[in-house]
Amino acid sequence: MARTNQTRTGLLAILLSALGALSIAGPGVASLLETRSGATALQNLSEDIYFARRTAADKKVPVTLCQSEDEASCANSGRWEAGWLMFEDYDRDAVRDPGEKIIRTQGPVGDNATIRAQAGAGSRIFSSIAFTRLGLPKHASGMSLSGTLRVCGERARTTTVGLKFTSAGSTYATRRTAYDCV
């Protein structure tokens, strides 16, 4: 457990360093606030992806993390900044049914950040991330799951910060690729 906390602390330090470097080039306090809001949102989502995977593997139950606007049901807008929902997804359809237990929720991340799925054929993350009973990521279609969630400030046209999700279920922050903010 201590190693997990060290890993999370290390990831947060890396993210804050990267985002802090970006804020120095920005024009003032508003840019700094956007950067911090984005770092917090990215950290929260990264931790919840990790927690969903561990919960699925530990409890031997399929778990889905989905974008949610009401913290009770999944939405299909791809706007993760509205919040998300983690639940036991027994029928593995990425839709929360009445008998499926909510594990954790996250409300809106704030006005200064957006989190969007990277569009394209290579990305299967849009509005949900599902894990099998073994903790393996799978799309609702049964295909392996991978993709990038990009974190943007309110006024940004592009960003270099993303959360990459691999088909093995691991996540890491990216900083070298430019992502469009839409």
φ, ψ at 96 (rounded to 5°): -75, 120
Judge whether 123 and 117 are in contact, CB under 8 Å.
Answer: yes
Using CA atoms, how far apart are residues 115 and 80, in angstroms rounded to an integer? 5
Q: What is the mean pLDDT of residues 23-51?
A: 63
Band (pLDDT 50/70/90 cuts) for residue 70 is very high
What pLDDT sits at residue 63?
95
Judge whether 105 and 71 are in contact, CB under 8 Å.
Answer: yes
Band (pLDDT 50/70/90 cuts) for residue 123 is low
Is residue 40 helix, strand or coil? helix
pTM of the model as a whole: 0.71
